[in-house]
A and B are shown apart, each in its own frame.
Chain A
């Protein structure tokens, strides 16, 4: 089932056009990797889909779960199941992780007409979810991301993902700044949450993460456009040959176009 359909997306930030016409289709049950050199627009794509107001959509459309994505406020997109794992998660001093997570969890529940959970019920839920990212329950009393190492912040993002169980998760360079062990924990977390009813877009620089989170499709972003798409082998090819090589193959292969448009899964 088509979860996200992006057509001709153009976007600017600070009066500079970054996305120059993106086409992307993501179906449920799929993992898509978006790779590319610095400045290609990878993070911009992630932020625009999540609704960061610093970015302006100047053209194109995006349909999420049958709805016009750009007509939805950021919080509405979140309540409808879109989750962005931030590249640089911010700190919120004085707000405990437990309170923050419970509030976020309840907002999603309210949006689906479900009853809110109280702190005790939530604590039970948390006990189970913390295991997904191998995190110490003591971190729940700490302020959001306050005093967290880079690795802890990224794990906290995946913990939130485990709590909120989004339909479409967008991981914005989640692997940046992680050591091998942290990477493995993060990847395991993402993999354990994978189902046929959700989808993930993994934005990354390096092929390394994709050894652990194996994608169904790999897209190469360059100069604000997707210039190549393929299967997981494409990532290995990029690793070997670099991005510049792909830029010269600016036409997408017939095979990958057919694959992404018919929604065939691996």
Chain B
């Protein structure tokens, strides 16, 4: 059987390169001094430094959780450097002043900061390691009153907004990795959309880890004021590395009454080689708080990382709030994933939809972990969960850990689950209609993921399909 599929060429991770720019890097190790140093290098206000220090002190009292269904070598938190910034001669006023080598990096990653992106109507905020470089279309967005900039810049230009909302969805005490992130976060994105404004473009961000042994601690905060709308795309790549890299980001979404936030992710971090060596650890805390009549949608396509551990969640705080989670998570070779969502129904008439598609191939191990919680005063809560697993081959694993906690009698909670295997007979059927083994797998898997892909903004949907195809190459047989 394998002979009919083995003509497929295994694609090398194409983003495996390193940019040769001198980086200003702090020596490895974590202490209060390091936290203060990070804060001072960024020129942060003292309240921010204090917040970081509180988080650090809290982190020191916490223990790394070991309950997920994943296995990894212990992380030495003292062995990584917590800050790395590309060295530039002067402050960046415009794109023309950006180091051309940096811009070349973006081109290699397929991020044309220039006209192409502008013409496509996508604003790009590209983060190079721990410092944000170049923000396009700022002026255009500014005409709508929309703020889209790096977290660092937002802290300088709009500290009152940061202070008001930071930590209100993910407090620094929330969990071990959130505490760590809160202490040493490097940079990230900040978005604010004013009342009643519909953001006219999809907002997007790219970032990558460059210097060896630098963990990436991204912090993103998106605030959609009353009645506003914003769609945000997150897509990331990283170069090949020989040591595991921790990526412990925190993303907070605040949807004020009547607002809508759509957050889409296509994640293609380096997953490690075929033996599982050297991939990224993606331990992320993502959460949104939805007030009355608002909506938060998470859509993710996770094909990379050695280990993916994340539960983009929605707190349905206000009446009539809506939360959605659409996910495709792929594990191949030795990848592991423990991912899912939490939908917490607090207000009345709240609704949540969860569609999770897990694909396991090679010796990958995929776990869906979800929590649907209906609190006592959450009248008429509705949840629909569909959790499907697809197994490719005989050595992979798919697991489901659904938690359903309902404390209100008027709730209706539905859960459907299915497990299927890509059948050799399906592959042969498609081949007998003229398609190659690769096309066959791609078609079957795309069909499996259709419900999730149709939630992605169009420009991402195509990339997602291709990513899926590349990730699963050589897996059937």
A residues apposed to B, CB below 8 Å: 50-54, 73-75, 77-79, 83-84, 86, 89-90, 92-95, 100, 103-104, 107-108, 111, 143, 160, 164
Contacts and interface: CB of A to CB of B under 8 A. Distances in A.
A164 B433 contact: yes
Contact of B426 (A92, A104, A108, A164): A92
A150 B429 CA distance: 17
Interface residues of B, number: 28
Contacts of B443: 92, 95, 100, 103
B432 A90 contact: no
Nearest to A163: B433
Contacts of A108: 434
**Among A52, A53, A83, A100: residue with most chain B CB under 10 A:** A53
B37 interface: no
A54 B424 contact: yes
B102 interface: no
B394 to A, nearest CB: 15
A104 B434 contact: yes
30 contacts: A50-B432, A51-B431, A51-B432, A53-B1, A53-B4, A53-B428, A73-B7, A74-B428, A75-B431, A75-B434, A78-B432, A78-B433, A83-B432, A89-B429, A90-B426, A90-B429, A92-B443, A93-B448, A94-B446, A95-B443, A95-B446, A95-B447, A95-B450, A100-B430, A100-B443, A103-B435, A107-B435, A108-B434, A143-B447, A164-B433
B436 interface: yes
Nearest to A109: B434
A108 B443 CA distance: 17
A72 to B, nearest CB: 11
Interface in B1-31: 1, 3-4, 7
Nearest to A160: B433
B1 A100 contact: no
B197 interface: no
Contacts of A90: 423, 425-426, 429
A195 to B, nearest CB: 20
B449 interface: yes
Contacts of B446: 94-95
A67 to B, nearest CB: 16
B9 to A, nearest CB: 15
Q: Is the interface of B mostly helix, strand, loop or mixed?
A: helix
Given A53-B4, A94-B447, A104 B435 contact: yes
B439 interface: yes
B114 to A, nearest CB: 31
Contact of B444 (A52, A95, A103, A111): A95
B433 A107 contact: yes
Interface of B: 1, 3-4, 7, 420, 423-426, 428-437, 439, 443-444, 446-451
Contacts of A51: 431-432
A77 B436 CA distance: 11
A111 B435 CA distance: 11
Contacts of B425: 90
A51 B1 CA distance: 11
B449 A100 contact: no
| 6 smallest beta-carbon distances between A and B, as pairs | A94-B447, A107-B434, A95-B447, A104-B433, A74-B431, A94-B450
Contact of B435 (A75, A77, A94): A75
Contact of A94 (B424, B432, B437, B448): B448
**Among A79, A92, A111: residue with most chain B CB under 10 A:** A92
A78 B431 contact: yes
A157 to B, nearest CB: 10
Contacts of A74: 4, 428, 431-432
Contacts of B426: 90, 92
Given A75-B437, A94-B446, A104-B435, 9 more contacts: A53-B424, A54-B1, A75-B432, A75-B435, A77-B432, A78-B433, A95-B446, A100-B433, A107-B435
B432 A53 contact: no
Contacts of B3: 53
A104 B443 CA distance: 11
Nearest to B423: A90
Contacts of A111: 434
Contacts of A103: 433, 435, 439, 443
A143 B448 CA distance: 11
B313 to A, nearest CB: 26
Given A53-B3, A53-B428, A75 B436 contact: yes
Contacts of A52: 428
Contacts of B450: 94-95
Given A53-B1, A75-B434, A92 B429 contact: yes
Given A92-B430, A93-B447, A94-B446, A73 B4 contact: yes
Nearest to B1: A53
A160 B430 CA distance: 12
Contacts of B439: 103, 107
A254 B428 CA distance: 39
Nearest to B357: A94
**Among B425, B433, B437: residue with most chain A CB under 10 A:** B433
